[in-house]
Structure 1
């Protein structure tokens, strides 16, 4: 067959629209389709070239390959306000029904010890669209919602220190787009340091660079351990929303790190797990609470009040034959949205905590592999507690569930 040049594939992928997802907070539960089939488990695995999104040390175990994939993502997000006549109601945030999320990766084994690669993926995002504006009671007009999309490109190098231990380093570029609608009117404008840059200004963009470090070590013949760290990515500001986000439009990407293991129980079965930490509170616009209210957009301005979370993932893979592999997994995450912060988080109800996944790979030839994964993010609700204290009382309750289906193709050179 004719080989597809990696650069041509990257250009083709880049023409697809950016999309958004929200699973563990607003981070994806799994960066590649194979990882999705194990509920995101990836630190100690070398699934494919997109694995560098989790751990660049995986490069030394991959060889030469190209990976292309797409995920169909369908979230269900709803809110209910009670006890406040100005805001009471049931609100459906599903104006945008579903999203397509592309991914691409390429790896190359340069020598016995050295490998390099690049991966393009969406690590996070958030989208809501309320035709019936939940904030109309505060004078807001039009439909309401946000659209946050993040595209990551990680270029990595992996180095095999010994036969059993590898390290990796990656440089990550992130390009993000954001839009807010319906957070307007006298009440919100009085809360903003720059009302003209608060809402309804279309999409704005920002970008920045960060660092990834990783290690994978085969500590016994059957057990591999791993560690990975991704730096906080300082991005430039969303200038069109400097009256909404703290630090005059700041929206950095939080630091993440974690540990993982993969235990080959026998030649067919592998049990693997990850622990991941996401430090949302280090980003002022995400972690600062709405109450007590300080002016939106200031250096220490009000935000969405998200807490740091731990994510625990466990998955299995079973090699039915040389051509067919099955996968399954379960993950649990801490709740990022406190009950006191639900009113503002109607815009960003990233409250899902549990994922259940199934997946499989079929190899029609030694060079090609087709993979699918299905994930159900179980419905989760957060009931407000003092969430409208600054708006006359009452409570806002949030709920979300998701269906996630991924398909991928791999070609080994």
Structure 2
């Protein structure tokens, strides 16, 4: 019966999963409503069946349960070019689903699966054609990444737990309005306006959680670079003939529980610069064609993300949460123009959350995330290659999520 419920849940989620638009670069700040209520923490604090997305070791510590949720995400993207502001919000509202299930094989081992959006990016500028930058009206991108992560976790000793998740990854991408740059591409017919293309890959995440003292735990997790098949329809845009791998990332975290209070924190490192399409500088596109081996990219640098959260159990039914998430800005001033269509410039988030236990087996959670407006300013190419002057790229965001958890 449990397996039938799990299969149905995954099928429904797979049908419904759209882009997951994220804010730590293009990664999500956290991977469940509960985690996001505490700033996205989760490396040493598993709270639900989405734990494998952050640290698969946590799945052995949450018991038998199924979790599912939806978040309404509303970003505001803008590009101010030589004093004129252009909105990148052709689509402004997005629904982000999450679902996971975990089954305890025995008191020390678990098998589970988590389905979630790892991250993504969307932009659309319906009126940017008059900016003199070469971007046409409707210019923008749509990147979506979906992970299905079967996991196994083992509590090796009463205080030491390890876990592994196999990440089955499907991503799609579309670019529009870049036709003016066809002369800078190795394959102009595979640069823009080709609809959505898809790419697949398989990766892994490993993790550890250790209880070092009563109520105090540390955790660590690592996900190597996930090699993806190429976007053939965009082999004239992304470096290395359409390659768009998922960056390696790793982190450490702590959790401290005393009475009704829980305090947790994570430090995460995301290695964007190791993926050519993301990390290569855009400043060489006039000398090195778009799409070429080691060709131009978005010029994103590696970032460090710091997450801190608190939770307080007011009574047996109600728990409230708050958190803060701060990341470096991966976009540099030298690469501002290329990132008009990928404005991943957010740095700070403030989060709130709660869980209410409806019964011994069912709970409802909610969260709210505000990503404060952040911007980057850089110079535009002078004539005849561009309009000259400056561009200021900015973004702010709001997210409201609800999830339901069942224990069995």
Q: Taking structure 2 as the reference length, what is the TM-score of the superposition?
A: 0.96
Aligned to 1:317: 311
Question: What SS does structure 2 have at the residue aligned with 1:36?
Answer: helix
Deviation at 1:133, TM superposition (A): 2.7
Structure 1 residues 138 and 312: CA distance shift in structure 2, 3 A: closer
Deviations 1:7-36 (A, max 9, x none): 111111111141231210100001011001
Q: Which of 394, 400, 403 is residue 405 of structure 1 equivalent to? A: 400
Is 1:347 matched with 2:327? no
Alignment of 1:40-119 (within 5 A): 40-82=40-82, 89-119=84-114
Is 1:155 matched with 2:147? no
Deviation at 1:137, TM superposition (A): 2.4
Structure 1 residues 398 and 138: CA distance shift in structure 2, 3 A: closer
Aligned to 2:26: 26
Query: Are the counterparts in 2 of residues 388 and 396 from structure 1 also a CA contact under 8 Å?
Result: no
Alignment of 1:163-182 (within 5 A): 163-182=158-177
Instruction: Determine the C-alpha separation between the residues in 2 that align with 1:34 and 1:99.
Output: 19
Alignment of 1:3-402 (within 5 A): 5-82=5-82, 89-133=84-128, 137-185=132-180, 188-264=181-257, 266-293=258-285, 294-384=288-378, 386-388=379-381, 391=386, 393-402=388-397
Q: Taking structure 1 as the reference length, what is the TM-score of the superposition?
A: 0.95
Deviations 1:96-131 (A, max 9, x none): 011001111000110122111000000100000110
Query: Are the counterparts in 2 of residues 280 and 308 from structure 1 also a CA contact under 8 Å?
Result: yes
Question: What SS does structure 1 have at the residue aligned with 2:398?
Answer: strand
Deviations 1:335-389 (A, max 9, x none): 10001111110000010000000000000101001000000001111111x3435
Query: Are the counterparts in 2 of residues 135 and 182 from structure 1 also a CA contact under 8 Å?
Result: no
Query: Are the counterparts in 1 of residues 143 and 172 from structure 2 also a CA contact under 8 Å?
Result: yes
Instruction: Determine the C-alpha separation between the residues in 1 that align with 2:77 and 2:135.
Output: 20
Aligned to 1:85: none
Instruction: Give the RMSD, CA atoms, in angstroms.
Output: 1.6
Instruction: Determine the C-alpha separation between the residues in 2 that align with 1:403 and 1:193.
Output: 39
Number of aligned positions between the proteins? 404
Structure 1 residues 17 and 105: CA distance shift in structure 2, 3 A: closer
Instruction: Determine the C-alpha separation between the residues in 2 that align with 1:367 and 1:17.
Output: 26
Deviations 1:172-222 (A, max 9, x none): 01100100000112xx11110000000000000001010100000000012
Query: Are the counterparts in 2 of residues 343 and 395 from structure 1 also a CA contact under 8 Å?
Result: no
Query: Are the counterparts in 1 of residues 125 and 137 from structure 2 also a CA contact under 8 Å?
Result: no
Moved more, 107-116 or 234-243: 107-116
Structure 1 residues 405 and 190: CA distance shift in structure 2, 3 A: same
Deviation at 1:139, TM superposition (A): 4.7
Deviation at 1:267, TM superposition (A): 0.9
Deviation at 1:392, TM superposition (A): 5.3
Query: Are the counterparts in 2 of residues 38 and 328 from structure 1 also a CA contact under 8 Å?
Result: yes
Instruction: Determine the C-alpha separation between the residues in 2 that align with 1:135 and 1:144.
Output: 12
Instruction: Determine the C-alpha separation between the residues in 1 that align with 2:405 and 2:14.
Output: 18
Query: Are the counterparts in 2 of residues 234 and 253 from structure 1 also a CA contact under 8 Å?
Result: yes
